[in-house]
Amino acid sequence: MGLFNKLFDKKECAICGGEIGLMGNRKLADGNLCKECAKKLSPWMTDRRESTVEEIRRHLAYRAENARILPTVHPTRVFGSNSMKVYVDENAARFFVTNHSNWQTANPDVIAVSQVIDCKVDVKESRQEMYHNDRQGNRVPFNPPRYKSEFRFWVTMHIDSPFFNEIEFELTDVRPDSPLSDAYRTYEREAYELQRALDPATYAAKQTAVQAAAAVLQAAAAAKAAAKTAADGAKTWTCACGTVNQGNFCGSCGKKRPVVYRCDKCGWTPADQNNLPKFCPQCGDPFKPGEDVQ
């Protein structure tokens, strides 16, 4: 009976002093909070149960000041889906994140861009195997298996604030089914733009990595082109009549291209093509005139 009676004991909100109903108590580390006062807390606060009454008072004072500042925020850009959006005031370098369409009355936390420690974008893929009905009407998997994919763009911000330290939300509304789709590329572009607006350092690092990868690809392409040019150059030959050719016969006089022997292992070419050695003097590989032809 003692525990049962304790359950129905009247509780008082440590903040407003009002009586807390049976289902309206929100526990604190050293007291109780009514649900009406709890509604005033930041939606990004996750440690309410571990917070003291004094910490909650400071938090609510911050929220009251936030409500005073909010009307001075004038968003110039909006990112995100219909469920969660990021409103950025580029002129004042401030932003807020909310899922309320009428954000003026929701009191979303106003955050300075300088408070953003980092802004990460994680693309999560979920796959579901596809099935079909066979000739007997049985539901069976495809062979080989086929999958239906769904991609979600998740944004995680770490914030330098005494009242909360992380904001996480899904950027996507309609989830793309392929990285090659227009929707995927649109969300990818929007995520990069959000990073550039709120976390220039991470965006710059990512751009540097992209540029470095592009430089590697360009260098590889240049090396391949140079190798092809060299190979094409090696295929040319000059006829005794002075004509430069690439085929097996001279285009001017019809003379057949002369055979040039070289080592197929190290590339050594004998100066005297009429007096070939049995072994390559550079690497010792057996010299095979029938195979070592350039």
55 in the same domain as 87 = no
Same domain, 129 and 34: no
3-state secondary structure of 168: strand
Q: How many domains does the chain have?
A: 2
In a domain, 151, yes or no: yes
DSSP single-letter state for residue 192: H
Q: Is residue 270 part of a domain?
A: no
Domain limits for position 62: 2-69
Q: Return per-residue pLDDT of the chain as tens, 294 residues.
A: 444 455 556 789 999 999 988 888 999 999 999 999 999 999 999 999 999 999 999 999 999 999 999 999 999 999 987 789 999 999 999 999 999 989 989 999 999 999 999 999 999 999 999 999 989 989 999 999 999 999 999 999 999 999 999 999 999 988 999 999 999 999 999 999 999 999 877 666 666 665 676 667 777 776 676 666 656 655 677 887 888 887 788 888 888 887 777 787 777 788 777 777 888 888 888 877 655 455
Q: Are 159 and 43 part of one and the same domain?
A: no
Let me know if residue 265 belongs to a domain: no
Using only C-alpha atoms, what is the Rg of the chain?
Answer: 36
Q: Kindly report whether the peptide bond that precedes residue 144 is cis, defined as omega within 30 degrees of 0.
A: yes
pLDDT at 10: 79
- b (16+ CB within 10 A) / e for 218-256: eeeeeeeeeeeeeeeeeeebebeeeeebeeeebeeeeee
The answer on 105 and 55 residing in a single domain is: no
Query: Which of 198, 225, 250 is the endpoint of a domain?
Result: 198
My answer on whether 98 and 171 are in the same domain is: yes
**Domain boundary residue among 168, 183, 198?**
198
- Residue 3 is predicted with a pLDDT of 47
Predicted local distance difference test score (pLDDT) of residue 242: 83
Of 198, 222, 240, which residue sits at a domain end? Answer: 198
Inside any domain, residue 33: yes
Q: Are 236 and 246 in contact (CB under 8 A)?
A: yes
Residue 161 corresponds to which tokens in the numbers above? 């604030």
